[in-house]
Structure 1
Amino acid sequence: MNELARPIAETDYPLLSVFWTMLWFFLWVLFLMLLFRIIADIFRDDRLSGWGKAGWTIFVIVLPFLGALVYLIARGKDMGERDLRASQKRDEQVRAYVREAAGTPGPTSTDELVRLAELRKHGDISEAEYQQAKTKVLA
């Protein structure tokens, strides 16, 4: 059988080799993502001085495996806390924007007058206090 007539499945690259190639490729991509995340965390940290940021960056770039391992051991817990704080801050900003955009109204003057009338009816406020608060609500 000549070379051109060979079936596609019958190649010189066995299935196990394909598996190992894919595994190494995904591990490489995972490691690159980890390095980018570490470098972003280095520059996000406000407590780290400029020299500290430069030192960690050089260490992670020159010796990537050792640098990433040492960074995760030395600063991994703080890295998670900074991510949590940043996430909470973004969440608060989104909620504030939604409240502002939606224009959530406060209690209306009608609701306020009904509440004042109930307070006067139960004797919690006097007639003079009721009239003063009513004038303030209607103004």
Structure 2
Amino acid sequence: MVIPVTLLWISALFHIIVNSSLPGWSRALWVIVIFLLPILGALVYLVVNGNHAVVTADGQTSSQAAPGRSADLPAQLQHLADLHRAGDLSDAEFATAKAALID
């Protein structure tokens, strides 16, 4: 029981730290909540923010990461279309990623 709870807690903290789409004060507040209420705070954070893609330092979301460069253009476009259809990419993200592939 201790290991799964610890992994949940660490996962929530890691997600807070790497999620640059959260403003600094929001991150600080979530860290305080997770330290004060470890299990409940981590669960609430992951339920509220867990479905959002993590924004990396270069400004791309984890769901925008380009497919492998060794794949041909039609396969990359199909991969993007699948992500868009599944709801992992918004219309704007899909258009941006598609334009980047084509250019």
> Aligned partners of 1:57 and 1:35: how far apart in 2?
10
Does structure 1 residue 37 correspond to structure 2 residue 27? no
Change (3 A) 1:87 1:47: closer
Does structure 1 residue 46 correspond to structure 2 residue 20? yes
Q: CA RMSD in A?
A: 2.3
Change (3 A) 1:75 1:87: closer
Amino acid at match of 2:62: A
SS in structure 2 of the partner of residue 74 of structure 1: helix
Identity %: 31
CA apart distance, 1:86: 3.0
Give 5+ residue unaligned stretches, structure 1. 1-26, 100-139
Q: What TM-score does the superposition give when structure 2 sets the normalisation length?
A: 0.52
Deviations 1:37-65 (A, max 9, x none): 11111011122111111100010011101
CA apart distance, 1:70: 1.4
> Aligned partners of 1:87 and 1:31: how far apart in 2?
27
Q: Which has the higher contact order (CA 8 A, sep 6+)?
A: 2
Q: What TM-score does the superposition give when structure 1 sets the normalisation length?
A: 0.40
Amino acid at match of 1:51: W
1:86 pairs, out of 55, 62, 84, with 62
Which entry has the higher C-alpha Rg, 1 or 2? Answer: 1
Give 5+ residue unaligned stretches, structure 2. 56-60, 71-103
Q: How does 1:93-108 map to 2 (within 5 A)?
A: 95-96=68-69
Query: How many residue pairs are counted as aligned between the two chains?
Result: 65
